[in-house]
Amino acid sequence: MTDIPIDTGVAHTARVRDYWLGGRDNYPVDREMGDAVAGLAPQVVEAVRGDRLFLRRAVGHLAREEGVRQFLDLGAGLPAAGNTHEVARAHAPDARVVYVDDDPMVLAHARALLVGTDQKRARYVGADLRDTDRVLESASATLDLDRPVALSLLGTMGHFGVLEEALGIVRAYTDALAPGSFLAVCDGVLAHVEAVTDERALAALRRWRESVARPYHTRTVEDFTRFFDGLALVEPGVVCVTRWRPEPVEVGRARDIPEYCGLARKG
């Protein structure tokens, strides 16, 4: 585990997200920030929940329809209902999952979650995802990197403010994975919806960036789509999370929110 101390005096993205998801792994400073931002931009909570919804749908699709049995979840965040290994194993009991995060609180809770779990099939790695070689070496203890792997970065790449750096990180991983692997990305975008053109929402974004550890940056849909360059997008392509393979009961009821996603296959 990393020896970086847990700072409970500054709001942290992972803990604020946990609060919005109804979790308990957060502090008063996180709840205060969460309420302030949600009060200015209510759709932010929908976006975070949409991220989890995409995880469930994408991982379910990969395990059920694509036959994927190996998952590498980068920037996993605090455990919540419907984690990757739980969703995957609902369809493929033999699925193997490696989570990667460098936050000490995330690692502490994550390891507790996996107590009693076969470490050959699920484990957490404490590492900076920019250290590609270290992450892949650690993941190889559980995953066979010569076979297809589903790589997911959900609500993660927005923490890298420089687009070219973010694109380079994603490309380093996809280049290292075997043909037939998949990339799933989900992040906030500056889509043409009311939540991000309204002055109150923009004020919320400014407060978020100025106040939390690891501020989050939204991108244009065009820039977000670049994460999938060179890969074959799975239908319906890059879309709002509410429109990525919605359940039959949701068709016709979904509305756009500033959280986009995509799933693509490496040839």
Tell me the per-residue pLDDT of 97-124, one tens digit each, with 9 for 90 and over: 999 988 777 777 777 766 556 667 888 8
Name the pLDDT band for 5 (thresholds 50, 70, 90).
low
User: For residues 124 and 43, which has the higher predicted lDDT (pLDDT)?
Assistant: 124
Q: Which CATH superfamily is domain 13-266 in?
A: Vaccinia Virus protein VP39 (3.40.50.150)
Question: Tokens 């050959």 belong to which residue?
Answer: 120
Is 50 exceeded by the pLDDT of residue 152?
yes
pLDDT at position 184 is 98
How far lies 169's CA from each of 72, 74, 164, 207, 211, in Å? 14, 11, 9, 27, 25
The three-point CA angle 43-44-47 to 5° equals 90
Q: Band of the pLDDT at 13, cuts 50, 70, 90?
A: confident
Residue 19: count of CB within 10 angstroms of its CB: 24
Q: What pLDDT shows up at residue 261?
A: 97
Q: Which pLDDT score, from 0 to 100, does residue 114 have?
A: 66
Least confident among 155-159, 182-186, 232-236, 254-258:
254-258
Give the three-state DSSP class for 265: strand
The more confident residue out of 265 and 199 is 265
How much is the mean pLDDT over the chain? 84
What mean pLDDT comes out for the span 14-38?
A: 82
pTM exceeding 0.75: yes
In angstroms, the CA 239 to CA 255 distance is 12
Q: In the structure, what pLDDT confidence band is assigned to residue 225 with cuts at 50, 70 and 90? A: very high
Backbone phi, psi, residue 219, to 5°: -130, 170
- Give the per-residue pLDDT at 197: 52
pLDDT one-digit tens code per residue, 230-253: 999 999 999 999 899 987 765 556
Domain map (residue ranges) of the chain: 13-266
Which pLDDT value is given to residue 196?
46
